[in-house]
Chains A and B, each alone.
Chain A
């Protein structure tokens, strides 16, 4: 209905066409905090605090070589024996004592039956305890991180920023990608404002933190 398009745009132009512009885009004041103020240590501490506050689980390791072991530990705690990963997931990060299912465009029904998914991510925000996925490579497609009940996410310490603006700046080259931000497991407060974990998304979120 191209007609509706012209009518609506015409209405807008008639209404604001000649109106003075109170603020041009480049003149919009941005006095809020756009850079973090904490040092590395404090920033990581803040992230961990926020993750725990929202019922996520944290497994800390040093080198990349220890990632597989941490994943195994997360699986053990959840009582699971297999993980789903994207084809691009680094082989040397895989747990040795668990079955690995590779997502070669698996059908929905197959995904639904799986308990745990293992992915990487793009960035994390300490101030809000948020993990950002842009769903390419080892981060898996959207359905993969949604249907299983348990999500294990591998996060490098260098990927952690303090504030939301820093995170958006860090991922801005991906701004046309599909993107999901995750702050703790799925939750609802719709019944008498009681927070309940795990409605439709994963009920359990484990973060494996590694690196410098």
Chain B
């Protein structure tokens, strides 16, 4: 049983990766410009809605209700999807999901030595590393979302859950396209680049026989599936191939068709600042003479059901992946998405990745936040991310202290020492004098660098001001002495 979230098991811890990201001025400028633009558009479009808070309340209630009855709704979805001509498969983890997809692709492409599949942007497929598995099985996955295509061509990782290539600017994309598409004449104009992508992909849309997608919503009442997009690449992959395989996280199910009226109002405004995204595709099973002749759904667990036990952690599964919390987060805006070491970045990534993997990897992620609350404020389903972050920090500490190594760790000992010092005025002042004398060795200007021991962990990733020559307490004492004299 292996729960996998992208390449998190091999990624550097957040503080280390963030340090590298902070030195990359180009990346930071790209991320800053992109998030500023989306934030502005989102604010404008949310402002237009007099009933925005009521929509959030309902969305949160629908999701909470669905998760509490998830087994019933999944069974209902399965029944209705199969009645409409679809076939539902269940996958406990990443390997199982990939094995099912590969099995289906082989079954439908029998006799063909070189098999290609076209893909609609799906984070869930990145989560299970489906492209890596497909390639290992001799199948070529072709990403068709413009941003995902940029990421795939650049052998890169997505840095945002809605706009995966927002860390790249037009010149970087031009260079990539010139090289991969053998079009040296391409300019850096977005129109030119978009046109190149259109020409490059059109041929594949018409030729490739198998499509792979994710889903934004799976509707229990009808067995229907909904994909929200802009470019039309989604419509192409969902319509043109003979076979469609949709990988869907179990938390994507909603009870009824009419519930879409809530989510279709919240999602586009939150994600891209649009009143409605250009295209939504909805379908149930197969339709005679229209679209794929075979339709398969893979329902994926991959750690999700573990989050159901705890009411607070369960809230994480309410996420509709709009990305608003990323754009709002001051930490994400400084570091970009790669520092999170997971395909899920920003505030939602900081709570989702460590939970899916039982804190095994990405232990530092619950700390990758200022707890300013901006993420909670913009979240269309009202997930209280700051509260979940604190809850997870508690879990990290408890798990650490449960081990002998954790108990004896310098940090733990130092914290106990600090607690003792703060309890007595005499001990506190003594410690302060000692620190004033001791800091000379590490002082650079008015900053302290490379402190030894546990304090080194602090200064490695934070700017720390040196302790002033005179403490406030000393100044107060001398001031009152002067006044009485």
Which residues of chain A have a CB within 8 Å of any CB of chain B? 1-2, 4-5, 7-9, 11-13, 15-16, 19, 21-25, 28-34, 50, 54, 105, 108-109, 112, 125, 127-130, 135, 141-143, 146, 164-165, 168-169, 172, 175-194, 196, 198-202
Q: Which residues of A contact B231 (CB under 8 A)?
A: 186-188, 190, 199-201
User: Distance in Å from the Cβ of B396 to the closest Cβ of chain A?
Assistant: 22
Contact status B65-A146, CB under 8 Å: no
Q: A23-B65, A31-B51 are in contact. List 8 more A-B contacts (CB 8 A).
A: A128-B275, A130-B276, A146-B232, A164-B265, A181-B276, A190-B145, A193-B163, A196-B194
Please tell me if the beta carbons of A4 and B173 are within 8 angstroms of each other in the complex: no
When A108-B240, A142-B290, A192-B190 are in contact, do A16 and B68 touch as well, CB less than 8 Å? yes
Given known contacts A4-B91, A141-B290, is B65 in contact with A127 (CB within 8 Å)? no
CB <8 Å contact, A180 and B71: no
Contact B239 A23 (CB under 8 A): no
Cα A108 to Cα B236 in complex, Å, equals 12
Q: Are A175 and B222 in contact (CB under 8 A)?
A: yes
B92 pairs with A7, CB closer than 8 A: yes
User: Does B261 make an interface contact (CB < 8 A)?
Assistant: yes
> What's the Cα separation between A200 and B195 when bound, in Å?
9
Bound form: Cα–Cα A188–B92 in Å: 35
Contact assessment for A22 and B68 in the assembled complex, using a CB-CB cutoff below 8 Å: yes
**The residue from B150, B255, B258, B280 contacting A190, defined by CB atoms under 8 A apart:** B150
Of the candidates A7, A23, A190, A196, the one whose C-beta lies within 8 Å of that of B147 is A190
Q: Which of B37, B58, B70, B277 contacts A16 (CB 8 A)?
A: B70
Report whether B34 and A192 are in contact in the complex, using a CB–CB cutoff of 8 Å.
yes
Secondary structure at chain A's binding surface: helix, strand, loop or mixed?
loop
Residue in B74, B262, B280 whose beta carbon sits within 8 Å of that of A32 in the complex: B262
- Rounded to whole Å, the gap between the CB of B80 and the closest CB of chain A is 8
Q: Is B98 an interface residue (CB 8 A)?
A: no
Contact B275 A31 (CB under 8 A): no
What is the bound-complex CA distance between A153 and B425, given in angstroms?
Answer: 79
Q: How far is the CB of A92 from chain B (nearest CB, A)?
A: 25
Contact A191 B173 (CB under 8 A): yes
Chain B neighbourhood of A32, CB < 8 A: 51, 54-55, 58, 262, 265
Known: A178-B283, A199-B194. Is A8-B84 also a contact (CB below 8 A)?
no
Count of residues in B whose CB is under 8 Å from the partner chain: 97
The answer on a CB contact under 8 Å between A23 and B64 is yes
Which residue from chain B places its CB closest to the CB of A182 in the assembled complex? B279
Annotate B204-234 by CB proximity to A: 1 below 8 A, 0 otherwise: 0110000000000001011110000011110
CB distance from B126 to the nearest CB of A (A): 16
CA distance A108 to B205 in the complex (A): 10
| Pair A175/B257 contact, Cβ less than 8 Å | yes
Contact residues, B67-89 vs A (CB, 8 A): 67-71, 74-75, 84, 89
B421 adjacent to chain A (CB < 8 Å): no
8 contacting pairs across A/B (C-beta < 8 A): A11-B306, A16-B314, A172-B258, A184-B278, A188-B231, A192-B30, A199-B198, A202-B232
Q: Provide the residues of chain B in CB contact with A30, threshold 8 Å.
A: 54, 58
Q: How far is the CB of A61 from chain B (nearest CB, A)?
A: 25
Quick check: B281 and A8 within 8 Å, CB to CB?
Answer: no
Inter-subunit contact A191/B193 (CB<8 Å): yes
Binary flags per residue of B40-51, CB closer than 8 Å to A gives 1, else 0: 000000000011
The answer to whether A176 touches B250, judged by C-beta atoms less than 8 angstroms apart, is: no
A5 to B205, CA, bound (A): 33
Kindly state whether residue B477 has any CB partner on chain A within 8 Å.
no
Chain A residues with CB below 8 A from B411, complex form: none
* Docked-complex contact B287 and A178, CB < 8 angstroms: yes
In the complex, what distance in Å separates the CA atom of A73 from the CA atom of B265? Answer: 34
| Residues from 3 to 49 in B contacting A, C-beta threshold 8 Å | 30, 33-34, 37-38
Q: Are A9 and B75 in contact (CB under 8 A)?
A: yes
Known: A141-B290, A196-B190, A196-B194. A176 touches B222 (CB 8 A): yes
**Residue of A whose beta carbon sits closest to that of B226:** A179
On whether A8 and B301 interact (CB within 8 A), knowing A31-B57, A143-B240, A165-B261, the answer reads: yes
* A114 nearest CB across to chain B (Å): 13
Do the beta carbons of A176 and B289 come within 8 Å of each other?
Answer: no
Contacts of B75 in A (CB 8 A): 9
Is B284 a contact of A176 with CB atoms below 8 Å? yes
CA distance A50 to B57 in the complex (A): 27
Q: Give the residue name and chain of the A residue nearest to B96 (CB).
A: A4
Q: Please give the distance in Å from A148's CB to the nearest CB on chain B.
A: 12
CB distance from B99 to the nearest CB of A (A): 9
Q: Which of B146, B232, B284 has the most CB of A within 10 A?
A: B232
Instruction: For B61, list chain A residues within 8 Å (CB).
Output: 22-23, 28-29
Q: Which residues of A contact B309 (CB under 8 A)?
A: 15-16
Name the CB-closest residue of A to B89. Answer: A1
Would you call B230 and A186 a contact (CB within 8 A)? yes
| CB-nearest residue of chain A to B233 | A200
**Contacts A28-B65, A199-B146; A12 near B198 (Cβ below 8 A):** no
Residues of B near A176 (CB, < 8 A) are 84, 222-224, 284
CA distance A5 to B92 in the complex (A): 8
> A177 touching B287 by the CB < 8 A rule?
yes
**Nearest opposing residue in chain B for A17, CB measure:** B71
For B70, B89, B144, B276, the residue with the greatest tally of chain A CB atoms inside 10 Å of its CB is B276
Q: Which residues of B contact A4 (CB under 8 A)?
A: 89-92, 96, 301
| Nearest-CB residue, chain A, relative to B236 | A200
Q: Tell whether, in the assembled complex, residue B90 and residue A193 are in contact, meaning their CB atoms are under 8 Å apart.
A: no
CB atoms of B275 and A183 under 8 A apart: yes
Is B412 among interface residues, defined by CB-CB distance under 8 A?
no
Residues of chain B with a CB closer than 8 A to A128's CB? 275-276
Q: Does B197 contact A (CB under 8 A)?
A: yes
Asked if A189 meets B230 with Cβ closer than 8 Å, knowing A180-B281, A183-B278, the reply is: yes
With a cutoff of 8 Å between Cβ atoms, the chain A residues found around residue B290 in the complex are: 135, 141-143, 178
Given A33-B51, A135-B290: A22 touches B277 (CB 8 Å cut-off): no
Return chain B residues, CB-CB under 8 Å to A194. Answer: 190
Residue B374 is within 8 A (CB to CB) of chain A in the complex: no
- The minimal Cβ–Cβ distance linking A180 to chain B, given in whole angstroms, is 6
